[in-house]
Amino acid sequence: MDTPHRSRFHHRACNLCEAICGLVIEMDGDDIVAIRGDEHDPLSRGHICPKAVALQDIWQDPDRLRRPLRRDGDRWDEVTWDEAFDEVAVRLLDIQDRHGRDAVAVYQGNPTVHNSGTMLYAPAFVRELGTRNRFSASSVDQQPHHVAAYFMFGHLLVLPVPDVDRTQHMLIMGANPMASNGSMMTAPGIRQRLRAIQKRDGRVVVVDPRRTETSRIADEHHFIRPGTDVLLLLGLLHTLFAEDLVRPRDLPLIAADVQRIRDVVRPFDPERVAPATGIDAAAIRAMAIDFASAPSAVCYGRIGVSTQAFGSTCQWLINILNTLTGNLDRPGGAMFPTPAIDTVRHIRPGSYGRWASRVRGAPEFAGELPVAVLSEEILTPGEGQIRALVTSAGNPVLSTPDGRTLDRALAGLDFMVSVDIYLNETTRHADLILPPAVGLETDHYDLAFHALAVRNTAKYSPALFPPSPGAMHDWEIFRELQRRLESRRGTRPRGLKARMRRAVARRMTPRRLLDLGLRLGPYGVWRGRFLRPGGLTLATLERNRHGVDLGPLRPSLPGRLYTDDHKIHLAPNLLVEDLGRVTQTFFANRVSPSPTDEEFDLLLVGRRHLRSNNSWMHNAALLVKGNPRCTALLHPGDAQARGLDDGDTVEVRSAVGAVQLPLEVTSDVIAGVVSIPHGWGHGLPGTRLRTANAHPGASINDLTDASRIDPISGNAAFCGVPVCVTACTTPTTTPTTGDRSSHENPGHQ
């Protein structure tokens, strides 16, 4: 609970990114003396990055909100929690009464999955809202992984993770774990883990349009044209069949589909796919042969292949590559973790296309619509138009495609409330901001990332500090919002069972829920009807401050499958049919997926830096000091052709918008590509972020295009947006996205 431990050394897991590193925080009374990596953490073994130290900066940040704020024009006033909750309930219900349930939308951002309290309590609030307009950062991120898992394994959370610690060959596509510390693969200390592959005579191969920090330590790097990974994967699969390298294990689980895959990949021989990808046919063939002949191998694709027009198809083909080479569910391949709280068992398997977005008709997935449609749903008049928005732990103005239009859309809402710790680019549009307690003030058990980890471990992190006076936790905020909506709406659960369920739910704290989850889990004290001595409970984790080691990943098929027939669906129709679109896109019209034309003759890609965390940690001085990091990377040939020099301020323009930022000329990017990091674009009027606003950068999402999505998952297709780069004719003192005054229509450039 909120009884902070005050021993000299406090142990917890860092909840900032997916690596969940174990920390030792040395205290002198109430002061933090040092934050170090915990060498005894069974997963992270001492690894830490500079962001962990910023946990203290966030906690102490004078700009961080500590009391609910209510906007009155351009002024913000502190209000009591009670007033704030009441106003939110009244306004949301009023809008739903007048315009229907769907008139209120909700967007949940990335820190949601890094906070067990939010994960446990926000769902009931969202259900209470009863809207179909549910959005989250998943649709600018990993939705294709879930879609592939849902259709192939029957559950959106049955996600294969690379068994990095035992593999002999790792093919990394569109990921830069050396900067990101890994994603959909919790593997803290990835440098040592990749080095260890090499030390045991294995290979690390990277496919990326940029020479990244990861590719620098790899054995092989292939530059690829953005957005063409689907062709590369098809070329690899074609080669497996052509060279007779298909060796699936668990044949009974997939037998019927192998022939179908052979047929559908047949047209994609390396010679045919090579020109579009920029990787030559011989290299593609060698890549496939090396992969298939390694004693064990795993292909891992992340943001760079998920945020593409063929994101779902890419993730499906990656799963096929792992399966057909016998690497699914076996040590050194792609394996399914067995987490101590098995979220798979507590969450519905998923759903597809039960409804569609109003304007564009984008299909629902797992109860969500793609956030790329959010602005049009707010801006397009008519029945079902979104008139109010709840955001929680999200900054979609900077993180979603065409954030500039969303910025304008938010300014026109009837009502907006944000559960957030900052008055930032998104929350400046809110009528009320409800700020929760932060990392060091919260108890945490990582529900999401133990379930994606390369080793089975479990760790509980008690709060270090009590919340600031009068502060509430995210979970308490959601619980209260849900209660107020429910009581004002007058909805009462019907029937004894429902009432009992509610009575029990009301007594449940996150601690109790976590304890229950552990007890019922695969290592828990309760196994079926028996008690297992020594089984896990929350108390066990509290005694083991470094965390509990539950061993390496272990084979878990067919038990882990949720399909009706308990088989792997290697060839789901929806994905197989998408290959028609591949042919159409790349071969029928002879255009690339991102048709470059004379005006927009370059393709845009993103990147991450170790000292960033999406959009929200730039207010920590420690993380923004030094040379500006929000720069456009361009190949020397491309710079020369445009008469541009290193250090120039340039304008990057797309069909959607324009930004100005410094140019870095480097042969680290493939010719024809511009690389810009996301999460920048601070300095907007009305925000309260002194440090970030002094280092504003420019927002890549002022350039990305909300109409470019993977039509299957709805995921934003950030990779390969056509842009042009020119010398900046109207130099600005600081490269900002321009004046976007919060309550007037700034229009487009």
Ligand X SMILES: Nc1nc2c(c(=O)[nH]1)N[C@H]1C(S)=C(S)[C@@H](COP(=O)(O)OP(=O)(O)OC[C@H]3O[C@@H](n4cnc5c(=O)[nH]c(N)nc54)[C@H](O)[C@@H]3O)O[C@H]1N2
Q: By the criterion CB under 6 A, which residues form the site for ligand X?
A: 17-18, 109-111, 115, 137, 140-141, 173-177, 179-181, 183, 207-210, 212, 224, 226-227, 229, 302-305, 308, 392-396, 399, 419-422, 424, 436, 438, 474, 605-610, 612-616, 678-679, 700-701, 704, 718-720
* Radius of gyration from C-alpha coordinates of the chain: 25
Toward ligand SF4, which CB reaches closer, 29 or 626?
626
Toward ligand SF4, which CB reaches closer, 415 or 449?
449
Toward ligand SF4, which CB reaches closer, 11 or 688?
11
Window of 14-22, 503-511, 684-692, 726-734 that interacts with ligand SF4 by CB under 6 A = 14-22
Residue 77, SS3 per DSSP: strand
- DSSP-derived letter for residue 592 is -
Window of 18-26, 213-221, 264-272, 638-646 that interacts with ligand SF4 by CB under 6 A = 18-26
Does residue 638 bind Mo ion (CB under 5 A)?
no
Beta-bridged to residue 134, according to DSSP, are 106
Residue 235, SS3 per DSSP: helix
Does residue 52 bind ligand SF4 (CB under 6 A)?
yes
Toward Mo ion, which CB reaches closer, 448 or 669?
448
672 binds, among ligand SF4, ligand X, Mo ion, none (CB under 5 to 8 A by kind): none
Interface characters, 611-630, with ligand SF4 (x: CB under 6 A): --------------------
The answer to whether the CB of 545 falls within 8 A of the CB of 451 is no
The answer to whether the CB of 367 falls within 8 A of the CB of 346 is no
Toward ligand X, which CB reaches closer, 240 or 438?
438
Q: Report how many residues bind ligand SF4 under the rule CB under 6 A.
A: 12
16 binds, among Mo ion, ligand X, ligand SF4, none (CB under 5 to 8 A by kind): ligand SF4
In angstroms, give the least distance from the CB of 48 to ligand SF4: 5
Toward ligand X, which CB reaches closer, 188 or 209?
209
Does residue 21 bind ligand SF4 (CB under 6 A)?
yes
Does residue 658 bind ligand SF4 (CB under 6 A)?
no
52 binds, among Mo ion, ligand X, ligand SF4, none (CB under 5 to 8 A by kind): ligand SF4
In angstroms, give the least distance from the CB of 434 to ligand X: 8
159 binds, among ligand X, ligand SF4, Mo ion, none (CB under 5 to 8 A by kind): none
Which residue has its beta carbon closest to ligand X?
304
* One-character DSSP codes across 170-222: EEEES--HHHH--SSSB-SSHHHHHHHHHHTT-EEEEE-SB--HHHHHSSEEE
Does residue 25 bind ligand SF4 (CB under 6 A)?
no
Toward ligand SF4, which CB reaches closer, 189 or 304?
189
Please compute, for residue 135, the number of CA atoms within 13 A of its CA located in the half-sphere on the CB side: 31
In angstroms, give the least distance from the CB of 202 to Mo ion: 28
176 binds, among ligand SF4, ligand X, Mo ion, none (CB under 5 to 8 A by kind): ligand X
Helix (H) or strand (E) holding 519: helix 510-520
Toward ligand SF4, which CB reaches closer, 52 or 633?
52
- Maximum separation of any 2 CA atoms in the chain, in Å: 75
Cis upstream peptide for 226 (omega within 30°): no
Beta-bridged to residue 36, according to DSSP, are 24
Please compute, for residue 185, the number of CA atoms within 13 A of its CA located in the half-sphere on the CB side: 29
In angstroms, give the least distance from the CB of 536 to ligand X: 26
Task: In whole angstroms, give the CA distance from residue 83 to residue 91.
Answer: 12
Q: And the tokens for 385?
A: 């138009």
Does residue 702 bind Mo ion (CB under 5 A)?
no
582 binds, among ligand SF4, Mo ion, ligand X, none (CB under 5 to 8 A by kind): none
Toward ligand SF4, which CB reaches closer, 12 or 169?
12
The answer to whether the CB of 672 falls within 8 A of the CB of 225 is yes
Toward ligand X, which CB reaches closer, 104 or 472?
472
Near ligand SF4 in 163-202, by CB under 6 A: 181, 188
Toward ligand SF4, which CB reaches closer, 21 or 258?
21
Window of 44-52, 72-80, 384-392, 580-588 that interacts with ligand SF4 by CB under 6 A = 44-52
Does residue 48 bind ligand SF4 (CB under 6 A)?
yes
Toward Mo ion, which CB reaches closer, 141 or 208?
141
The answer to whether the CB of 471 falls within 8 A of the CB of 436 is yes
Near Mo ion in 100-159, by CB under 5 A: 141
Does residue 22 bind ligand SF4 (CB under 6 A)?
no
In angstroms, give the least distance from the CB of 729 to ligand X: 25
Toward ligand X, which CB reaches closer, 68 or 177?
177
Cα-based distances in Å from 540 to 197, 443, 740:
33, 15, 52
In angstroms, give the least distance from the CB of 181 to ligand SF4: 4
Beta-bridged to residue 602, according to DSSP, are 723
Question: Minimal CA–CA distance to 340: which of 160, 508, 526, 111?
Answer: 526
Pairing of strands 649-654, 721-727: antiparallel
Token match 């993180």: residue?
Answer: 399
Q: Which of 10, 11, 12, 17 binds ligand SF4 (CB under 6 A)?
A: 17
Task: In whole angstroms, give the CA distance from residue 459 to residue 461.
Answer: 7
Task: In whole angstroms, give the CA distance from residue 657 to residue 127.
Answer: 36
In angstroms, give the least distance from the CB of 19 to ligand SF4: 4
Does residue 19 bind ligand SF4 (CB under 6 A)?
yes
The answer to whether the CB of 14 falls within 8 A of the CB of 20 is yes
Q: For residue 171, which amino acid is it?
A: L
Helices 270-277, 281-293: axis angle to 10 degrees equals 110
Pairing of strands 632-634, 526-527: unpaired
Q: For residue 640, which amino acid is it?
A: Q
Q: Which of 24, 32, 43, 49 binds ligand SF4 (CB under 6 A)?
A: 49
Near Mo ion in 57-86, by CB under 5 A: none
In angstroms, give the least distance from the CB of 13 to ligand SF4: 7
Question: Minimal CA–CA distance to 315: which of 325, 305, 328?
Answer: 305
160 binds, among ligand X, ligand SF4, Mo ion, none (CB under 5 to 8 A by kind): none
593 binds, among ligand SF4, ligand X, Mo ion, none (CB under 5 to 8 A by kind): none
Does residue 51 bind ligand SF4 (CB under 6 A)?
yes
Beta-bridged to residue 26, according to DSSP, are 9, 34
Residue 147, SS3 per DSSP: helix
Window of 48-56, 330-338, 384-392, 497-505 that interacts with ligand SF4 by CB under 6 A = 48-56
Pairing of strands 22-28, 31-37: antiparallel
Token match 């292939």: residue?
Answer: 222
3-state helix, strand, coil in the chain (%, to 5): 35, 20, 45
Does residue 14 bind ligand SF4 (CB under 6 A)?
yes
Does residue 571 bind ligand SF4 (CB under 6 A)?
no
3-state SS, one letter per residue, for 421-455:
CCCCCCHHHCCEEECECCHHHCCEECCCCHHHECE
In angstroms, give the least distance from the CB of 180 to ligand SF4: 9
302 binds, among ligand SF4, Mo ion, ligand X, none (CB under 5 to 8 A by kind): ligand X
Does residue 652 bind ligand SF4 (CB under 6 A)?
no
Task: In whole angstroms, give the CA distance from residue 152 to residue 175.
Answer: 23
- 417 sits in the region (left: phi over 0; alpha: psi -120 to 50; else beta) called beta
Helix (H) or strand (E) holding 129: helix 116-129
Name the residues that contact ligand SF4, by CB under 6 A: 14, 16-17, 19-21, 48-49, 51-52, 181, 188
Give residues in contact with Mo ion (CB under 5 A).
141
